[in-house]
A and B are shown apart, each in its own frame.
Chain A
Amino acid sequence: MVELIFKRFTLNQRIQHILFFTSFILLAYTGFPLKFPEAWWSSWMIASVGGFDNRTFIHHYSGLVMIGVSVYHVVFHILEKPRYDVLFNLKDIGDFKQQMMYYLRYSDEHPKFGRYTWKQKFEYFGAGFGAVIMGFTGLLMWQPFEAMKYFPIGLVQIANLFHTWEAVLASIAVFIGHFYDEHFDKFMNLSWLTGNIPEEELRHEHPLEYEAAMKNRPIGSSEHVEHKPANNLLIVGFAKLVFTMIFLAIIIWMLWISYSVLVEAVRIYIL
């Protein structure tokens, strides 16, 4: 069987994604133990990176990497190579409505997505705004006394509040939402590594993009490859098992974190 393979992410985008998620994971790993110093996992996680000073160092410089990638992304993709298909449009509202109808059994028809689904657009802009908030507030918290030369201490403390809450919000979005949609539901989705998306998957996940690509396809533009059925079921199954366990542990961790911050906030600010 011959199958087409489509390019979804360029090498540039894949490197950006790898740098972004590596710094994100390191930031979460070195940041949440500081948020919950009394939790049993906190001292364990800090010890695993080699002590408190290492934790601070890793957190600061991963933050710089994240800011660097974000700035590069804005400069390159918005000023050099603008894309408009990632912006929200009216079709997304219809898609959302249709998907809800489909999920709630009012309709048998799943919406047909283009290159980016409404959920992916949310994740993209969420990550963008998140990086802006975390970057600015993080820089203020890194050098509070430099910051206090220009802003009153109250604003630096507000920055602290923003940083800690946005961290929880972003981690829920990434560790639960993004992990499930892109890496668990579509297991093993290797397009973040290879940049390619198989024809079957593209037709299923992004039918409009597939149709447009097939319509405009110049002959010989796409690679024809032999489709090999998965003969390494054992390895894939094992990988899926391991991934499921890690994913479940992270979900429980995230739910514990959100529960703790919400309970504490309600206790302090509402009661």
Chain B
Amino acid sequence: MTILVSIALLFLTAASAQEIIDESCFHCHPAQVNEFKASIHSNKNTCADCHGGDININGTVVSINVMHTNFTGKPSPTQVTDFCSKCHAESTNVYKESIHWQKLNEGRPAATCTDCHGVHNILSSKDHNSSTFTENIPGTCAKCHENQTRMQALYYGISTDRFDTYKKSFHYKSYMSGGKMLATCSDCHENHNTRAQSDPKSAINPANLPSTCGKPGCHEGANNVFLSGGKIHEEQSVYLLSFDAKRIVVYFYIIMILFELTFTCGLIFLGIASKFEIRRRH
């Protein structure tokens, strides 16, 4: 009886799946296996490469058979880098210089490979659905960097308006208006080698900004430029006699626009009203 029920259940699961996959993990984790099958790793790796265990054992019997070898379950963020480094040694080594790894190594939560590249559904960065495709990168970074609770909880002192301020730049506005994304997060902050601004090796350290902006294809020949303050996401404060110039400009124009709207619309209204007066008198 129990065998019949389990066969019937198995048949239902297999029928509901788009593709019948003859792999032991699939029977219990169809969503993950399907994602993995669609990913760029599907022909090169197996589940066991990251999770351990033995995928060749028939999983329909009992799951313990699958897990009888060195099954590790969900790898920790630091373990993830070990798995990736087996094939992507260079990228992992570069990543291990970054602030993300530095914090991760200190035991604090930070982005590891899978946070940006995806877990089972890793795609080539040239794929339009990939989380590391140029136009999807801001959303990928914003997952953590726009998350106020996450950023505040970590006490890293990172403001959560980076995506919002980036949206105001020409680099992004072009994309929003149907053009191409002119520069995305990783173009300036580096992808694997992301570092704090205070780090002298950082691409966004004020001293390195001219060469970062002057990359080939971007603002070539950007030498000897005044990028000294190094604030790109927000307007740099320029002080005129201890008053912030941008505030002076904005306050001036707020008053001017309010004055002009009142004046222009008021005069139009008075002009129309005076015409009616003349018509009534005649």
Contact = CB atoms under 8 A, between A and B. Distances in A.
A180 B263 CA distance: 13
B270 A172 contact: no
A105 B274 CA distance: 8
B4 interface: no
B224 to A, nearest CB: 6
B274 A153 contact: no
Nearest to A164: B253
What DSSP secondary structure best describes chain B's contact surface? helix
Given A145-B214, A258-B257, A262-B257, 19 more contacts: A34-B170, A34-B173, A43-B176, A51-B178, A145-B213, A145-B222, A150-B226, A154-B236, A157-B236, A160-B235, A165-B257, A172-B257, A176-B265, A177-B264, A261-B257, A262-B254, A265-B250, A266-B254, A269-B251
Contacts of A42: 176-177
B261 A161 contact: no
A161 B168 CA distance: 12
Interface of A: 33-34, 37-38, 42-43, 46-47, 51-53, 55, 102-105, 119, 144-145, 148-155, 157-158, 160-162, 165-166, 168-169, 172-173, 176-177, 180, 185, 255, 258, 261-262, 265-266, 269
B261 A145 contact: no
B246 A103 contact: no
A151 B225 CA distance: 8
Highest count of chain B CB atoms <10 Å: which of A154, A165, A173: A154
6 contacts: A55-B177, A160-B235, A172-B260, A176-B268, A180-B268, A262-B258
What DSSP secondary structure best describes chain A's contact surface? helix
A52 B179 CA distance: 5
B128 interface: no
A200 B179 CA distance: 53
B250 A155 contact: no
B3 interface: no
B157 interface: no
Interface string B179-217: 110000000000000000000000000000000011000
A37 B177 contact: yes
B226 A149 contact: yes
A67 to B, nearest CB: 21
B176 A168 contact: no
A151 B213 contact: no
Given A38-B176, A46-B177, A265 B254 contact: yes
Contact of B227 (A105, A148, A155, A169): A148
A185 B257 contact: no
Contact of A34 (B177, B227, B237): B177
A51 B179 contact: yes
Interface residues of B, number: 48
Contact of B229 (A47, A145, A153): A153
A31 to B, nearest CB: 12
Contact of A37 (B176, B225, B265): B176
Interface in B10-24: none
A176 B264 contact: yes
Ranked nearest first, the 9 interchain pairs of A and B with the lowest CB-CB distance are A52-B179, A154-B236, A165-B253, A103-B270, A152-B226, A148-B225, A154-B238, A37-B176, A177-B264
A158 B179 contact: no
Contacts of A157: 235-236, 246
B245 interface: yes
B119 interface: no
A144 B219 CA distance: 9
Nearest to A161: B249
